[in-house]
């Protein structure tokens, strides 16, 4: 009986924490969506270019990292 009460209390606490976390994430996403909605074309283009540069840099790092493994095969 006592174990059931502990499990029930734990479940309620976990549910509460999960709801709180979900609300925080939702608020953050709403804020980000609002920022994007308020951007003009120039700002969106700068954001796109910044993201493309980050992707290119990540790809370049990936290639540099895999280069020593390739050289060992030769």
Compute the Cα dihedral for 37, 42, 45, 51 and give only its sign.
negative
Tens digits of residue pLDDT in 22-73: 999 999 999 999 998 999 999 999 999 999 999 999 998 888 777 666 565 5
Distance from C-alpha of 16 to C-alpha of 12, rounded to nearest angstrom: 6
pTM equals 0.54
The pLDDT of residue 42 is: 93
At which residue do the structure tokens 């979900």 appear?
22
Distance from C-alpha of 30 to C-alpha of 70, rounded to nearest angstrom: 45
Question: What residues have CB less than 8 Å from 44, skipping those under 6 apart?
Answer: 36
């Amino acid at each position: 009986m006592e174990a059931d009460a502990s499990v029930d209390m734990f479940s309620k606490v976990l549910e509460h924490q999960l709801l709180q976390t979900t609300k925080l994430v939702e608020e953050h996403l709403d804020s980000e969506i609002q920022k994007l909605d308020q951007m003009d074309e120039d700002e969106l283009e700068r954001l796109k270019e910044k993201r493309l540069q980050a992707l290119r840099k990540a790809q370049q790092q990936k290639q540099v990292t895999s280069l020593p493994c390739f050289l060992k095969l030769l």
